Copies of this chain bind each other. A is one copy, B any other.
Amino acid sequence: MNSLRPVLLTADAFAPFGEVIQCEGARHFPINAGTTERYHDLAKIAPGEGGRAIVSIFRGQPRSFPLTIAMMERHPLGSQAFVPMQKRDYLVVVAHSLADSKEPGIVQAFIARGDQGVNYAPGVWHHPLIAVGEVSDFLVVDRQGEGHNCDEFSLAEPLLLEYAG
């Protein structure tokens, strides 16, 4: 099996897939008489036509590594954001995604810091949540609404995600 080696998550590297939800590099301004800094509007939350944005908590079991990446999924109708709730690192696996293609392109992996969320743009192929180390909670902002909003794809050639923690 080919290896998949994660690299550190940055806004630029993740741009083809969506946004990194982080303070770094974001527009910000003081509010509440200077007691709070607001890092404003950090992701393109897109519940899509006829959908609405909802919040849920995903409680992920920690994975063992190396982890076989054998499938990917995508949500064609809406974005999906993950934000860690206990500042614990996690892994993100995405694939280049063309709207008119039924399958994922080149797969990439990222190490997300515990203070970084990610927002997958609608239709972006990604692997389900990969928590690391301990059971981890994530706030998820995604779409509720009518319509078929989940495709799955089995990789013809699974990859082996390496991570030392």
**Cβ B41 vs Cβ A55 within 8 A:** yes
Nearest residue (CB) in B for A61 is B35
* Partner-binding segment picked from A4-12, A42-50, A96-104, A157-165: A42-50
Q: Mark A76-119, 1 if CB is under 8 A from B, else 0.
A: 00000101111100000000000000000000000000110101
**Cβ B23 vs Cβ A41 within 8 A:** no
A32 interface contact, C-beta 8 A = yes
Interface residue SS majority, chain A: strand
With A83-B83, A129-B32 already in contact, the answer to whether A42 and B57 are too (CB < 8 A) is yes
Report A115-142 residues with CB < 8 Å from chain B CB: 115, 117, 119, 128-129, 131, 137, 139-141
**Cβ B58 vs Cβ A36 within 8 A:** yes
A85 to B26, CA, bound (A): 17
Count A interface residues, CB 8 Å: 47
* Chain B residues near A59 (CB-CB < 8 A): 23, 36-37, 39
A86 to B39, CA, bound (A): 17
24 pairs, A vs B, C-beta closer than 8 Å: A21-B55, A21-B57, A32-B129, A36-B59, A36-B61, A36-B128, A36-B129, A36-B131, A39-B59, A41-B55, A41-B144, A45-B53, A52-B53, A53-B53, A53-B141, A55-B117, A83-B83, A83-B85, A84-B85, A85-B85, A86-B86, A86-B87, A86-B114, A117-B139
